[in-house]
Structure 1
Amino acid sequence: MIIDPSQSSSDEYEQLCAIIDDNGHFLTPELATFLKRKCQIELERSEVERAGRSLLHAQAISFHHQTTFQQFRRIQKRQESTQRPSIRRSHEDLFEPDTPDSPSDTPLDTLQRQIMTQQASILAENHVEKVIRSLPDAWRVVQINTQLFLQSRFKKESSEEAIRSTNLPLLITQIDCGQNELVKVAEVPSVKRSDRPTILSEFQEILHTHRQIYTKNQKFDRVAYNQTRDELDDRLLTLLDTIENRWLGFAKLTLLGRPKDPERVRLTDQAFKKCVTKLKLDHVQKSWLWNALDGASWLEEGHLVQVVELLTSDKTVAKALFKAVQEFGVNNPSAGVDRHPVVLILDKDIQLLPWEALPMMKNQQCSRVPSLFFLASLYASHHQNKASVAKVGVNNEKIFYVLNPNNDLQKTQDRLESPFRALSLGEGFVGEWPSFPKIQGALSEMDAFMYCGHGSRLKTITSQEIEKLNIRALPLLFGCNSGRLERLGRTFDPTGTASSYLIASAPCLLGFLWSVTDLDIDTWTVEFLEHWLEKRKGQKDFVKAVAEKRHCFKRLVNSAATVVYGLPSFFETR
């Protein structure tokens, strides 16, 4: 598949469409490259919604391959089981339609079957619209891509290094889910670097310093240690402000969930109707205006100017619109508004950044998924399963926990063992590793699985074995790097422990993007569990509970590491 570089963009576009149509039955990584180039041409043509759909397709391909490979291994395992005495049917087929009483009718079967069948339809006309409409009306999905497909990054830097030469331009696709589906794209230019480090290189340096300061030696200086920690938090706070206000600019509006308060919606609608009578806007521009009013107090003057320029070129109308939006923000602050969930889809070059820790995202219910199509499959698999934890909630007595299994975190054990008993949690293993059958049973049968130890990899079960399970439990991985995804080459997206749990149909999971300090995470663990499971008024949503307690770490660098993957809501505790 070769594109002639000498042809016009119109001819190239037609050739791209033909290649994508001809090869849509087998979703190769190269196809993602063609889709991104198609997106670029569509943006040049101002075909914004079509460009957004091309990006959504491109993002889905890599994780689809991981799931396909695991599906193949599960089929092999089932075929092997039919060659020896088994209670399973000898003719059982993973793709066979299940009856209601079928033993294979599990969230995992539903999830992976849907992902596999999407291979034939993922590029079909109107497929994106069907997927978006299948999701709850309250959800908002935001996909953030760098524009690295316009340049080559592999000549000078390894896959884990930050881009040091320039800050990256972004393409942000916002999707309003449900019956009123809407896709819009914001092009975010790169931030001028001047004599400062790039955003990604500064972030990598912060993480490097964070790891280094906790390495004690004979010359350990407590005063210098505390000073460095404070400086590190200050640097991270400055970086987060730079990402939000200098890099994202007005496009940060895409990260806000829909407001829950009907009065807030009514006031915004009222202001919107007053503004829109003076303008001739298409449906995408109207959406930007509504977003601007809803998030007005988060916008600096320069951001608001950018929004107004999207809506009108009439200077008189622009001046009046600027004033109206600004006044609405003063009278109706955007901070502290209770909002519906947001789901983030992040490409490989910026997925390690702590987007959930941006100042404007405080208390925002938020999760991450590999792609829009995976989110729809995961939602459908749990929505159709009456016994899913996502529907019935979490019972304290059905929380399985593993505490200090390597027996090398005695202080952590001392801090957590008593609170776990006070919360009346279920079966737990303290100071030892449970057996493979025990972990297998806990993940498949319990409501939640908590791991409190080093890292996230379990000694008695591999990631490959996890992917073969039908996971019912909600994993809470209170370990360093438990939510980190790492790149395994130039082509595929990063993968990690979180990917394995998602492939195995876990409804969602809690993890940490990088190393966190034991005292801070232990204190937060107790506070979070009490907030989620015990000190509640009515039912408490799991992902919302994480959002509400994210800022309660003593150190910002630990708070920013907190991440949730999977469904952004649906959870209730009994």
Structure 2
Amino acid sequence: MRDFDAILREQQVVNELTERQAWWQGRRALDARLENLLAKLENDVLGCWKGLLLPPCKDSLLRDALFHEAEVLRDMLTKAGGQVPRVELLQAVLAGSSHLVSHQLQMLSKTLAPADARPSFQRALVAAVARLRKLDMASQHPRGSVVLILDKRLHQLPWESMPVLRESSITRMPCLSFLLATSAQASTAGSVLNTGVNPHKTYYVLNPQANLPSTESTFRQWFESMDGWEGTIGKLPNQQLLQLALSTKDLYIYAGHGAGARLLGIQELPRLSCRAPCLLFGCSSAALTARGSLEPSGIALSYMMAGWFLVVFVLHASLRCSQDGV
């Protein structure tokens, strides 16, 4: 966490640079440091268990092969004696085996198998991984989704950007109760989680502070040309009309500073009854702050309390030259 905190602090320093070449050099250096940090998080912290973060496989052929290979490996461990893992754990490990390199497979064998059975188990594991990789490469079925429920320190890290998760659909939830509430909402008649989003029922707020000209120039023509879309550009929206739109529209798009909470009234926001999934393209619109021993809090949670079960946020602040351009 110290390394990541240092990157965030230095981002603020780079953000103040006025000379363009120096800004780009600073940005590239920070990008490289963040990439190295994510690689260390994946390979050194998660290591041979990183595949456990992957969503479940939807390909029935590959799923059957995973079960078969897991059963074979479990039988080997049973005959070798010692503690035998559940077949579900072996399936999950094998499902992510395409992301494991040789020394991680070796570590997996060392963790799962007793010393005297380790060489034969490792050979069987490597052979199983090779067979599964062929099936995985041939599979055309997408994987499912991953829901991350992170503690007050880990929520700051960009887990979604780790190489192992970059091609996966990732959702963050503050706690299990929110996840259960979302599942219940999906079966409610009239919910967009059940009926789907009608793209023609969209409300947008673009550059409400009138100080992001590049963002406005990029999206104005597109937003105004969309059939059925309503909203405001370059000015503050009427609060009552905005609240009404959020309870009746199927999609809400905000492109401005922060999360746009002041447009709705920070105190009123959690009391609203909203149905529209929202896309909030503002710096740190998803930022949560932990105070002492208390759990993190922030505007993102207020949006979810208002009924927004589908929200796309920006986790951290953008660099100055990129924030006006979304």
TM-score (norm 2): 0.89
**What is the match of residue 30 of structure 1?**
none
- Residue matched to 2:315: 513
**Paired position in structure 2 for 1:504:** 306
The code of the aligned residue for 1:514 comes to H
1:247 equivalent in structure 2? 45
8 Å CA contact 1:396, 1:423 repeated in 2: no
How far apart are the structure 1 equivalents of 2:102 and 2:314?
35
Alpha-carbon separation, structure 2, partners of 1:419 and 1:519: 22
Could you tell me whether the CA contact under 8 Å between 1:271 and 1:328 is conserved in 2?
no
Partner of 1:315: 118
Q: Deviations over 1:52-106 (max 9, x none)?
A: xxxxxxxxxxxxxxxxxxxxxxxxxxxxxxxxxxxxxxxxxxxxxxxxxxxxxxx
- 1:375 equivalenced with 2:176 (yes/no): no
Deviations 1:373-392 (A, max 9, x none): 32112321x13421111111
Structure 2 counterpart of 1:492, from 282, 294, 309 = 294
Deviation at 1:517, TM superposition (A): 4.7
Alignment of 1:83-482 (within 5 A): 200-216=1-17, 220-280=18-78, 284-313=85-114, 314-328=117-131, 330-332=133-135, 338-380=142-184, 382-424=185-227, 426-482=229-285
1:113-154: CA deviation from partner (whole Å, max 9, x where unpaired): xxxxxxxxxxxxxxxxxxxxxxxxxxxxxxxxxxxxxxxxxx
In structure 2, the CA distance between the partners of 1:339 and 1:351, relative to structure 1 (3 Å rule), is: same
Separation (CA, whole Å) in 1 of partners of 2:128 and 2:320: 45
| Aligned pairs, number | 320
**CA distance in structure 2 between the aligned counterparts of 1:325 and 1:465, rounded to whole angstroms:** 56
Distance 1:474 1:519 in 2: 28
Instruction: Name the SS for the 2:257 alignment partner.
Output: coil
Q: Distance in 1 between matches of 2:74 and 2:323?
A: 48
Deviation sequence 1:255-279 (CA, Å, 0-9, x none):
1000122232233233334333323
Contact 2:252-2:278 within 8 A present in 1 as well: yes
Cα shift readout 1:462-508 (whole Å, capped 9, x = no counterpart): 23211001111112110000011112x22221111110011122122
- CA positional deviation for 1:239: 0.6
Structure number having the greater helix percentage: 2
State the one-letter code of the partner of 2:271.
Answer: K
Structure 2 SS opposite 1:346 = coil
Question: Counterpart amino acid of 2:177?
Answer: F
In structure 2, the CA distance between the partners of 1:259 and 1:456, relative to structure 1 (3 Å rule), is same
Q: d(CA) in 2 for partners of 1:384 and 1:465? A: 27
Which runs of 5 or more structure 2 residues have no equivalent in the other structure?
A: none
* TM-score normalised according to structure 1 size: 0.52
Q: Deviations over 1:180-220 (max 9, x none)?
A: xxxxxxxxxxxxxxxxxxxx11111212222222224xxx3
Q: CA RMSD in A?
A: 2.4
Question: Which one-letter code corresponds to 2:292 in the other structure?
Answer: R
The answer on whether the counterparts of 1:296 and 1:325 sit within 8 Å (CA) in structure 2 is no
Q: Using the alignment, how far apart are the partners of 2:301 and 2:84 within structure 1? A: 36
Query: Does the 8 Å contact 2:259/2:282 carry over to 1?
Result: yes
Percent identity over the alignment is 30
**Conserved 8 A contact 1:478-1:521:** no
Q: Return 5+ residue gaps in structure 1 as ranges.
A: 1-199, 526-574
Secondary structure of the corresponding residue to residue 277 of structure 1: helix
Given that residues 279 and 313 in structure 2 are in contact (C-alpha distance below 8 angstroms), is that contact kept between their aligned partners in structure 1? yes
